[in-house]
Structure 1
């Protein structure tokens, strides 16, 4: 075996020296597992290297030769298998990882992904698919960070920009003020495409700030005029809330009309499923009288469980709403007629302030309305489904007076802007 220096074994082979050290692990048969490195021409240098490895093992910073040789593809499989996120987040992570990160690093080990390889990936994404650049770089950073300290000692991810030309990392989407008249024009187009449920859907998003998946997944037992009397009350831990809801919300006396956000519709494992709302933002949304009347009228017109059914009664979440409906609602579309058109439709006028814009901006517009009207920050953020950090989030609560004030200002916006015929079905 050669000389032994404090648990480091040295042996010469030809003109070079090899050092061996115990990795701290055992084989299946109980024998110690050793690691080694050869090619040294100086015995003291080899001993020093072995002692450094023993130091790393004692202090938990050692990366074994076997772990260091792990392929990126194998580590990506293990990393994806450990994910525990919301359905849409996990699906997005998997898609970007498998489409962009895995092919780029297919032939590399984790230890070979150094800062140069990391920069090369960033440059590749920026050149070939800039729209996915930010998400891809973020996910690669998580993959490499989680490889420390088992597979690599330090992550090659650069946390600060050191060299190169300045590039603004985030450009805010340009928005215009969302006027009630703009919402009405969008709602009228939606009514032509989807019927009265389309009209009410647009106004509900504008007046509640609900996320699209929450709207698609809203069922009648969580909606005015049935909720809270119709609440399934499935969680025994929420018994006090169920009792308070019946005293505070409803359609009788001084109770406040409201919608309960308990879930959203998303696709998981190839099928439509209910999931908790984003960030587990369960919340109650008071609604102004005009929207309460619309919802009551809508639910009297159909007997589907969905509040906003598709034209054939199914869930709007089953469709690609942005492409199948919203693009025509916001950008307009030509008249649809002819012998092969099963459902003729008149031309839809474009809504200039929303042309090329996402439906989600109605939610942003709702937040702006609440801010303009001077409502409590805690009440506004709670309504949007956001956590308020710090002491403010710990000690504040949404009172009946706050909710009634929100109802009042939203109703006033409608009353000031509404024209004859607003809110009534076209027939």
Structure 2
């Protein structure tokens, strides 16, 4: 039972917190640990002894029913809790890096000196309002603010459910309350073949035949850039797979359905990511291992590309190694924005590259979005579209639906039809198919001129 102490004008109540004092040998003794309070809230004293006694009874009720939050735990500072929480998460290195960046830049500087158990809904709403004002001033993006509030919500939920640092979360999600704020959306246009052709042409001048094939592969497969594109290995490309699959069981099973003489297909088995500062091959996002049928023109393009180099990667960098952090500045920017003619290293001359206005300032990820638009335009079933993009269909629909060979064959046919229809609209430039990968010092002169249709 709690007991009340009256000292002058102050009233204090003590109650057992459910723990026992630990002896020198590390084992609990029979001596109980007590907690105390001088008021129902910090700075607010009890009005009388009855209020104090009832407050102590409520605390002991929580102890008996496993709802008690130890005061020492609730006073854990956010600057300590955030990093302990991050260390306990079982995540890929890329996710850990993103969380660490958000904690360091916005959450810990603002909340670091707050005790986890003292954060109120009022304080959280005020912080969220400051973030939205930063969006209006164009200091932060709406997407980044959503990521921050989502991470803070996870921190508070785990503080309640996992770590028992507070009784309830200050983050209360209410739908359609408060002043409506329309979320700004990225300006997207339907993906058009002439825009892709311009990008692929620029990619050729930057990166050779590898760049030309890279753009068309992304647009006609919907692979996730950059991880799944950079992680595509030779043995999982359509000219070699599934015969070259190192997994005997998977090779035998897939050979019944796929192959250069059945349905050409590539296998999404890896993505390229950095772990502890080292680029490694890991499983695709959400473990979305999948097989993607490719149209005949793309299969032929991949065959020519693989014959031109001996790299283990389908899309090696100009130096022959694996693509890395140099992509944005040295590859995608001139492909999208264009660049003036210049002399590159080893006296290689790169001609002027014209910008692609439709893609000014845009992400290459939009080519994956465009692939989804094509599939919708061509009327493919939802299960076929989501499976191709590496998504899961939830509920009964996903349980009963299945991607069939007929669906895959139809996807390859419609993509091939789209490619051929584009080339029938006019005279378009196509690069020569290389007999060897263009050297970083000079363009290969021994090439066979052909247009892959």
- The alignment's TM-score, normalised by the length of structure 2, stands at 0.86
Contact (CA 8 Å) 1:332, 1:351: kept in 2 or not?
yes
SS in 1 for 2:170: coil
1:393 to 395, 398, 416: 398
Distance in 2 separating the partners of 1:161 and 1:409:
41
Cα drift, residue 354 of structure 1: 1.3
Q: Write out per-residue CA displacement over residues 153-187 of structure 1, whole angstroms, 9 at most, x where no aligned residue.
A: 2211131268753212x333221111222211101
The equivalent of 1:108 in structure 2 is 114
2:241 to 214, 221, 227: 227
The equivalent of 2:437 in structure 1 is none
SS in 2 for 1:411: helix
Q: Check if 1:144 corresponds to 2:156.
A: yes
1:402 to 382, 400, 407: 407
Aligned CA RMSD, in angstroms, stands at 2.0
Alignment of 1:19-418 (within 5 A): 19-29=13-23, 30=29, 31-38=31-38, 40=46, 42-128=48-134, 129-131=139-141, 132-148=144-160, 150-160=164-174, 165-168=179-182, 170-212=183-225, 213-233=227-247, 239=249, 241-252=250-261, 255-316=262-323, 318-337=324-343, 343-418=348-423
- The alignment's TM-score, normalised by the length of structure 1, stands at 0.91
The equivalent of 2:451 in structure 1 is none
Task: Pick closer, same or farther for the CA change 1:343–1:93 going to 2, 3 Å.
Answer: farther
Cα drift, residue 87 of structure 1: 3.2
Contact (CA 8 Å) 1:16, 1:41: kept in 2 or not?
no
Q: Write out per-residue CA displacement over residues 170-227 of structure 1, whole angstroms, 9 at most, x where no aligned residue.
A: 3332211112222111011011111111110110000000011101011101112111
Instruction: Give the paired residue count.
Output: 411
Cα drift, residue 366 of structure 1: 0.7
Deviation larger for 125-134 or 105-114 = 125-134
Contact (CA 8 Å) 2:15, 2:36: kept in 1 or not?
yes
Cα drift, residue 90 of structure 1: 2.5
Contact (CA 8 Å) 1:294, 1:423: kept in 2 or not?
no
SS in 2 for 1:147: helix
Contact (CA 8 Å) 2:339, 2:352: kept in 1 or not?
yes
Distance in 2 separating the partners of 1:315 and 1:146:
39
Task: Pick closer, same or farther for the CA change 1:162–1:185 going to 2, 3 Å.
Answer: closer
Task: Pick closer, same or farther for the CA change 1:182–1:66 going to 2, 3 Å.
Answer: same
Distance in 2 separating the partners of 1:424 and 1:229:
28
Contact (CA 8 Å) 2:15, 2:35: kept in 1 or not?
yes
Q: Write out per-residue CA displacement over residues 202-255 of structure 1, whole angstroms, 9 at most, x where no aligned residue.
A: 100000000111010111011121111111117xxxx3x432211111123xx1
Deviation larger for 306-315 or 325-334 = 325-334
Long gaps (5+) in structure 2: 24-28, 39-44, 435-443, 445-453
Deviation larger for 327-336 or 116-125 = 116-125
Cα drift, residue 323 of structure 1: 2.9
Long gaps (5+) in structure 1: 1-6
